[in-house]
Structure 1
C-alpha cells in the first residue's frame, strides 16, 4: 500500500467530525483527537515551548498555541484540508515507505537500530523544516492604497461625541443614514433635515455631518466609486473612451444631450451606471470577516460521499478550468466569478412599461453559506430603460469586459489582512446564469427560430407544421439518449412509427466554436447595437417567439395544431373529434371547479407579508380568469396548489 493511500485510510476519522445520525461530534473523532494530541505532545517543540502548531481549518499550522487551545480549535472547527501526514506533530512521517520501519500493507514500526533511528529523526527534521517554510507566511506592511483605507477606518472609530456608546462614530452614523435613504426612498431635502436634526439634538461637540452633501462626501472617501456613462437614445453606443466628447450618436445621429438654455449644464437623454468590480474584490481581502473565507474553495475538504456536490468547486467545470490554467489555480486567492442578468419593471404592475437590466457578479470563492447572500452579489452594471436592450447588451458590457480582461491578464495589487501579505489579485468569469432569452443576448446564439437549440445548432431535426405553419421541435432530442435506451424504440408516445437510431450531433469544443464559427463575426459594439448587419444564412427560416398559454387569439393549442398532431402522433385521445372539435384537456377545470378555485383564492389563501403579491386581486370572476400575476406569484400559486392537492 502506498504512503498516501495508507495514510488516507487511517485518517478517515479526521474528516468525519460530525455524526450524520446525531448531528453531533462523533465518538470516532473524539477518540482520534485524543490520540493525535498525545502524539503531538511528544514532539520536541512541545517539550521546549509547551506549545504546538494548530492544524485546524482556520489556523492551518500557522499559529503556535497551547495544548488546550489547539484541542478546542480542532474539536469545534475540524482539521485543515488534506492533513494526512502530521509532519508538524511528530507522526512517523513516510514510515510505510521506509524499508527499515514498515512492513508491506502496514503502518506499524518495527524494531530498528540506533543508526536507523538517528537517520529517521534527521528525515523528520528536514520534512518539518520544509513544512514550516511552506505554511508560515512572512508578514508584510500593507500597500499604500490599503494603508489609506485602514487609516480611514481607524479614524472613523473616534466617538461621535464624548461619552457616546462604543462603536457610535461619524462614519457609522453616515452609513446608517445612507441606508435609511435607500431603503425608504427619501428625498435629499428630507435627508438634509434628518442630518441637521441629529446634529442639533446631540451634544455640542459632536462630529455628525450637517447635510446630505457632507454625508455623501464622507462615504465617498471609503472608495468603491461608480461611473455614469452617457448612452445613445437608441442603444447604439455608449459615449466612452474615444467617444467621450461626441455630441451625437455615430451610428444613428441621435442627439446625446437634451436641449438646454445657454450656460446651463448639459443633461444627457440616458445614462448607464458602472460600478468597477476590482475595488470590491480587494475589499473582500481587506476585511477580517471575509479574507480567510475567500480561500475556502481550495482549502475545504469535502466529506460528501459519491457524486454529491456541496459547492461549485466540487464540480467538473471548476476542476477542468484548474487543469487548463494551473498558474491561476495555484493562487487560492484568485477569484472565480459568475455573471447573472435579467430584466424587470421597477414600476410594478400598475406602472408604465419599462425594462431595466441589472448585471450582477458573484465571487464563488466563498463557502456555500456566504456566496449566495445578497451582500456578496455585486451590482456591476445598471442598464437603463425604457426599451429592452436586445442585441445591444454587448454595448453596455464594454467597461466590464475591459476590466475583466485586465483582471485576467495583469491583476491588481491587493492586501490580504488574514495572512498580512500583499499579492496580485486576478479574477476570471467562470460562467453566466440567465434564462433562455437572456442566454441569447449573452452568448450571441439566437434562441428562437428553427435553429434555437444551442446543442443541435445547424444539425437540428426541427420540422415544419403543415397546418400550424410554424417550426416544431417535438421529438428532436431522443438521439441524445444512450443507444440501448427503451425510449429510442417507442413508436407511440413520440412521432408515430419512428424509431431513433441516429447519434447525437457533434458537440464542439470552445476553441472549435471560436475559430470555426464566431471569430469572423462582427462585434455588436462596432455595429451600432440593433443595427447589426445581416449575416449570410441567418433569418432564412421561420422565427418564433413564446406567448403565454391560452391568451385569446394567441394560443398554440388550436384547431390547426390538432390537425398537425394527427399527422405526427398516434395518441388518438388528443386528436380532433368527429364533430371537428378539440377534445377537452384533462387539466381544464369545469365551471363549478373554477368557481371553487376562485373562491379559495379570494377568501382563504393567506401568505406572510412579502411572500407574494395579494393573489385575491388577480381573480376575475366575470372574465373567468386570473390576470395580473407576476412570475413569482405563478410559482407560489403552483407550489401551494400542488402541496394542497398532494
Structure 2
C-alpha cells in the first residue's frame, strides 16, 4: 500500500487489486484497504504484469527473471498481452481526467473546464455496477455494449427506448430509461459532431460570416425546406426551420490531441521514428520515397516524431443497402500513419472527419465541403496545437500534414478537379494523352497506353502545370 500510493499520480487514487475490482476500479487508500481485507486479492494479479501501481518495466522484467531462475523471457509474451477493451476505455477516461486535472492546476486563474466535469462524471458512472455485486458490467460499459447492438441491428430509437423501459422495471438495474438519456451519457465521451447547413446546389456553406444567411450567395437558392418570406415569427424561428442539406463535421483537433493523452497511444505515435525496422524493406508508409522526400523538404516538421502524418480517403456509397434507390453519401476518412502497421489501418483508428449527406453526391463541389477540414489542417501546419504528451508528461506543439489521398479513379476526379473522362482523362499524361472516340460505341478509347515501353513514361507535371 505504501509503495503504490507513493507513486500514484492524481487524487491519491490507485487501481484496486481485489478479486472483484481486478484493477478496473480506482479508489483511495481507505477504499482499497477495505476491499483487500474483505474480498481478498485477485488470484490472477501475480500472473499479470506488475506495472499497474508505479512499477517500471525494468523492475517487472527483473522480477520475472528472478522468478524464472534467470530463464529468458520471450519477447512475444511481453508484447502480446491479452487486452480488455473495458480496461482500455477506463485507462483513456482516467488519462483524460488526469490531464485536465494537471491543466487546471497549472492555470488556476482560468475558469473550470466543463470537459473536466464530464470526465469526472464518466469515471463515476464507470465505477457504478449495473446492479449490486455485478462483476462484469458497470453502468457505462453496459450502456455502450447495448448501444452497439442497437447500431448493428438497426434498432429504431423508439424500440430502443421501450426496451430500456422494460428492463428498468427490474428495480435492481441501474440504467437510463430512454434513448435521450443514453445519448446524454455517451455524449460526454466527446465524440460528437457539428452540423453545418449547406446549399442544396453545393455552392457554399452557411458558416462563419455566412451563418445567418437565409439564401445562397452564389445561386440564390433558399437555405430552408419551407422558406418564410417575411421575418420569422416565434413559431417559425430560424432554429426550428429544417435546412435542405447538412454537412456533419467531426472536429479533428480534439481527437488527435487524445491520441497523446493516453500513455500507450502516445508511445505508439512515435513508432515510425523510434521502433521501425529501417532495413530498406517496404512495410509501412514511412519506408516510402514520398515520406522520406517530405522529411527532407520540411526538416523542422520531421525533427519531432510526434508530428502527425495523415492520409485522406473519400468515396460515395448508398447507406440504405438498396440498389434500386439512387442515393450517394460521401464520408471523408482520415488515417493516422504514425501508428504501427497493424494499427494504422484498423477501423478503430480511422477517423471520420466529414459526412456529406445525399441524395446526390457533391461531385466537383466537394471542395466546398472540405473547408472545415482544410481550416483545421492549416492550423495544424501553421501555428500548431498545444497538446499534452502523457509519455513525457509535458506539453508540446503538435503539427500535422496531409501526405496523400486515396481514391478510386472517379473519386480522384472529384477531389482533385481533374477530369477523369474525355480526351485528357489520364492525369499523368495530361495533354499528351492518346485517345480516340469510337463513334459507333460512343465511347472514349485510349490506344497509346503501351508506348511507355518504347518511349518511357512522361515526366510528372509540376504544380503550376496542373493549375
Residue 143 of structure 2: aligned partner: 174
2-side partners of 1:316 and 1:463: how far apart? 35
RMSD over equivalenced CA pairs, Å: 3.1
Q: Secondary structure at the match of 2:413?
A: helix
1-side partners of 2:324 and 2:132: how far apart? 49
Q: How far apart are residue 266 of structure 1 and its match?
A: 0.7
- Assess if the C-alpha contact under 8 Å between 2:331 and 2:355 holds in 1: yes
Larger radius of gyration: 1
1:404 aligns with 2:404: no
2-side partners of 1:290 and 1:209: how far apart? 31
Q: Secondary structure at the match of 2:296?
A: helix
**Aligned match for 1:461, one of 434, 440, 457:** 434
**Aligned match for 2:326, one of 353, 357, 368:** 353
Q: How far apart are residue 464 of structure 1 and its match?
A: 5.5
Residue 65 of structure 1: aligned partner: 59
State the aligned residue count: 371
- Assess if the C-alpha contact under 8 Å between 1:143 and 1:422 holds in 2: no
1:267 aligns with 2:242: yes
Q: Structure 2 regions of 5+ residues with no counterpart? A: 1-55, 66-70, 80-98, 105-112
Residues 223-266 of structure 1: CA deviation (Å, up to 9, x unaligned): 23201111212222221111111111222222111227961421
TM-score (norm 2): 0.71
- Assess if the C-alpha contact under 8 Å between 1:257 and 1:267 holds in 2: yes
**Aligned match for 1:505, one of 450, 455, 458:** 458
2-side partners of 1:308 and 1:342: how far apart? 30
1-side partners of 2:413 and 2:148: how far apart? 36
Counterparts in 2 of 1:369 and 1:202: CA distance versus 1, 3 Å: farther
1-side partners of 2:185 and 2:100: how far apart? 29
Q: How far apart are residue 392 of structure 1 and its match?
A: 0.7
2-side partners of 1:198 and 1:418: how far apart? 42
Residues 602-635 of structure 1: CA deviation (Å, up to 9, x unaligned): xxxxxxxxxxxxxxxxxxxxxxxxxxxxxxxxxx
Q: Structure 1 regions of 5+ residues with no counterpart? A: 1-61, 81-138, 482-487, 489-501, 519-646
Residue 296 of structure 1: aligned partner: 271
Q: How far apart are residue 343 of structure 1 and its match?
A: 0.9
2-side partners of 1:183 and 1:423: how far apart? 39
Residue 194 of structure 1: aligned partner: 163
Residue 419 of structure 1: aligned partner: 392
Counterparts in 2 of 1:202 and 1:147: CA distance versus 1, 3 Å: same
TM-score (norm 1): 0.52
For 1:440-589, list aligned pairs within 5 A: 440-463=413-436, 471-479=444-452, 481=453, 488=454, 502=455, 504-509=457-462, 513-514=463-464, 516-518=465-467
Runs of 4+ aligned structure 1 residues displaced above 6 Å come to 70-74, 466-469
- Assess if the C-alpha contact under 8 Å between 1:276 and 1:380 holds in 2: yes
- Assess if the C-alpha contact under 8 Å between 2:119 and 2:188 holds in 1: no
Counterparts in 2 of 1:175 and 1:475: CA distance versus 1, 3 Å: same
Counterparts in 2 of 1:148 and 1:415: CA distance versus 1, 3 Å: farther
Q: How far apart are residue 477 of structure 1 and its match?
A: 4.7
Residues 510-547 of structure 1: CA deviation (Å, up to 9, x unaligned): xxx14x552xxxxxxxxxxxxxxxxxxxxxxxxxxxxx
Counterparts in 2 of 1:147 and 1:468: CA distance versus 1, 3 Å: closer
2-side partners of 1:346 and 1:376: how far apart? 21
Counterparts in 2 of 1:446 and 1:260: CA distance versus 1, 3 Å: closer
**Aligned match for 1:143, one of 98, 103, 108:** 103
Q: How far apart are residue 401 of structure 1 and its match?
A: 0.8
1:252 aligns with 2:219: yes
1-side partners of 2:340 and 2:255: how far apart? 18
Q: Secondary structure at the match of 1:201?
A: coil
Counterparts in 2 of 1:241 and 1:295: CA distance versus 1, 3 Å: same
Counterparts in 2 of 1:464 and 1:201: CA distance versus 1, 3 Å: closer
Residue 240 of structure 1: aligned partner: 207
